[in-house]
A and B are shown apart, each in its own frame.
Chain A
């Protein structure tokens, strides 16, 4: 670090970024938080017309059926999706760092869905993978003598959506795991090999404990992505909100901007703000918990 006094330059160089930050992050975050405690009908309503309602918006949310469904779906995505995605990502990361041939190629292909627009990916899944007559899933099933499945029916729609979403996310989390594994010194594994440890013993006793910090990053990043879960819900239920695919952001979009249908007739920006605060709270809680759990006996790499 250069310790010369250079206040003018520091201010000049930071000002534009900070100005953007204040306008697009700081002010909106504060305003949304305040708004969640007021009865506000439309977003553009003047602050003078806001009526203080305490926790009213939150109570209203907790009695709304659609919100229950959205939170239930959110938790399923967060937990079930999280466990499956992170497990698969870790599995691929371990496979690709075990001296396999074509590592770079495999890594690139598995990450690929992350660079493609979610709308484009969703279209491929809905029109091809899940198609009942010629879709790749049903074709594979019938080839092995199974019966075709209706992937986008009432009971399966949610899981189909989760599979399509998770498929793309695996590659991203895999890359983070790989970089974590590559920072573990090879001497640990060599020592273990000399001691006669097999692949699984090496994984449980070396890789996993040393990846705690990386695991924490992955859990937090996953949580942040899931709180923004929106476009997949829209793609899988395009006409109106459905209990199968609604997530908090889909519900909030309907409440505040009331786009597509008559599922919700009244506008309520205050409730929308409360949903935003709840989602932010989830991120804060997960980040704090994971720090607490991993810090206890952290190994510095």
Chain B
């Protein structure tokens, strides 16, 4: 990091030169913090307190007197159905992320390791899928799903999430398998291990860092997905969080329970937010790894 500077301590001239940069970053970061902090504070207040000039002071009063309105969360989870959406999203996300990896990893392995006719063609097919707008595919899918009477089925939604994320995941994992040394396979072959067994017993576990990174990515993508679930999950019982939250916000116009609404917002972004706080370095490395390939 500090390769340019000769000193371990503070190089005053250099820091002064970087001042405009520091300022710009600071403004952006402070803004982001206020944005998130505001909604978290608002989620613990009553509607009247949120819509007043002294919002922050009422937050600190409540904080110091232990009267934060946790019942906003209870109401959001129960009355506003966010609990249902949350559990739906959890089921969709966990099951699709597992399946995505189990399907993409073998494909990525074969594409990165074997010479065969059609390899390059399949790779370019996959890269096309990453640039196709969702609106290009949504109508025929809707046609199939309604014809088969599969609307509002969790399995339909999970199926679509799996399919949508296979191209990206396969591309991402190809880079990982490419970097693994072929000596592992050679050793396994000498020991009489079949190539398929070699993959599941040796190569798949070796690609674990890549598999974890790409799964975090898929988790975030699927958790926040909006367009597909808007079309394929239009019943309250099957909605995931993004569409559920949108519907809740729309009805909020009439009920006016702002505290409950902001509590819902916090519940919806908490899982990906917390994941990010703990794993941001990994996620950031993944963005750059995946994007350059694509």
The answer to whether B109 touches A98 (Cβ under 8 A) is no
> Closest Cβ of chain B: how far from A36's Cβ, in Å?
10
CB contact list, B83-134 vs A, under 8 A = 103-104, 106-107, 109-111, 113-116, 122, 125-126, 128-134
Pick the contact of A25: B132, B199, B265 (CB < 8 A).
B132
Residues of B within 8 Å of A104, CB to CB, are: 281
The answer to whether A217 touches B133 (Cβ under 8 A) is no
Pick the contact of A230: B29, B224, B226 (CB < 8 A).
B226
Contact with B along A180-197 (1 / 0, CB 8 A): 100000100100000000
> How many angstroms between the C-alpha atoms of A6 and B115 in the bound complex?
10
Residues of B within 8 Å of A208, CB to CB, are: none
The answer to whether B32 touches A44 (Cβ under 8 A) is no
Q: Which of A3, A112, A120, A214 has the most CB of B within 10 A?
A: A120
Is A136's CB within 8 Å of the partner chain B?
yes
Residues of A within 8 Å of B25, CB to CB, are: 92, 95-96, 100, 102, 106, 110
Residues of B within 8 Å of A10, CB to CB, are: 110, 114, 116
Pick the contact of B24: A28, A91, A276 (CB < 8 A).
A91
Is A64's CB within 8 Å of the partner chain B?
no
> A137 — nearest CB in chain B belongs to which residue?
B31
Residues of B within 8 Å of A119, CB to CB, are: 226, 242-243, 245-246, 249, 268
> How many angstroms between the C-alpha atoms of A238 and B128 in the bound complex?
32
Residues of A within 8 Å of B31, CB to CB, are: 136
The answer to whether B288 touches A28 (Cβ under 8 A) is no
Is A227's CB within 8 Å of the partner chain B?
yes
The answer to whether B133 touches A115 (Cβ under 8 A) is no
Known contacts A2-B114, A2-B185, A116-B272: does B135 contact A252 (CB below 8 Å)? yes
> Closest Cβ of chain B: how far from A48's Cβ, in Å?
13
The answer to whether A277 touches B283 (Cβ under 8 A) is no
> Closest Cβ of chain B: how far from A257's Cβ, in Å?
6
The answer to whether A287 touches B195 (Cβ under 8 A) is no
Pick the contact of B139: A1, A20, A127, A273 (CB < 8 A).
A273
> How many angstroms between the C-alpha atoms of A100 and B114 in the bound complex?
44
Pick the contact of B18: A17, A20, A100, A129 (CB < 8 A).
A100
Is A83's CB within 8 Å of the partner chain B?
no
Is B167's CB within 8 Å of the partner chain A?
yes
Is A71's CB within 8 Å of the partner chain B?
no
Is B137's CB within 8 Å of the partner chain A?
yes
Interface pick from A143-151, A153-161, A171-179: A171-179
The answer to whether B136 touches A35 (Cβ under 8 A) is no
> Closest Cβ of chain A: how far from B281's Cβ, in Å?
7
The answer to whether A44 touches B142 (Cβ under 8 A) is yes
Known contacts A12-B196, A108-B284, A217-B291: does B246 contact A283 (CB below 8 Å)? no
The answer to whether A17 touches B287 (Cβ under 8 A) is no
Residues of B within 8 Å of A279, CB to CB, are: 133, 135-136
Residues of B within 8 Å of A75, CB to CB, are: none
Question: For this complex, into which size category does the number of interface residues on chain A fall?
Answer: 35 or more
Is B233's CB within 8 Å of the partner chain A?
no
Residues of A within 8 Å of B283, CB to CB, are: 111, 115
The answer to whether A280 touches B39 (Cβ under 8 A) is no
> How many angstroms between the C-alpha atoms of A296 and B110 in the bound complex?
34
> B283 — nearest CB in chain A belongs to which residue?
A115
> Closest Cβ of chain A: how far from B212's Cβ, in Å?
16
> How many angstroms between the C-alpha atoms of A280 and B136 in the bound complex?
7
Is A199's CB within 8 Å of the partner chain B?
yes
> Closest Cβ of chain A: how far from B230's Cβ, in Å?
8
> B139 — nearest CB in chain A belongs to which residue?
A43
| Extra inter-chain contacts (14) besides given A17-B106, A28-B138, A107-B284, CB under 8 Å | A1-B113, A1-B114, A6-B114, A25-B137, A111-B280, A134-B55, A136-B31, A175-B291, A180-B292, A234-B246, A252-B135, A257-B231, A276-B133, A280-B133
Q: What residues make up the interface of B, taking CB atoms closer than 8 Å to A? A: 1-5, 14-15, 17-18, 21-22, 24-25, 28-29, 31-36, 38-39, 42, 51-53, 55, 103-104, 106-107, 109-111, 113-116, 122, 125-126, 128-143, 146-147, 160, 162-164, 166-167, 170, 182, 185, 195-196, 199, 220, 223-224, 226-227, 231, 241-243, 245-246, 249-250, 258, 261-262, 265, 268-269, 272-273, 275-276, 280-281, 283-284, 287-288, 291-292, 294
6 smallest CB-CB distances across A and B, nearest first, come from A179-B288, A24-B163, A28-B137, A13-B106, A95-B21, A17-B107
Q: List 9 A-B contacts (CB under 8 A).
A: A21-B126, A28-B137, A43-B139, A117-B272, A119-B268, A228-B135, A234-B246, A257-B231, A269-B139
Q: What residues make up the interface of A, taking CB atoms closer than 8 Å to B? A: 1-4, 6-7, 9-10, 12-14, 16-18, 20-21, 23-29, 31-32, 35, 43-44, 91-92, 95-96, 98-113, 115-120, 123-125, 127-129, 133-134, 136, 172, 175-176, 178-180, 186, 189, 199, 214, 217, 220-221, 224, 227-228, 230-231, 234-235, 238, 248-249, 252, 256-257, 269, 272-273, 275-277, 279-280, 283, 287
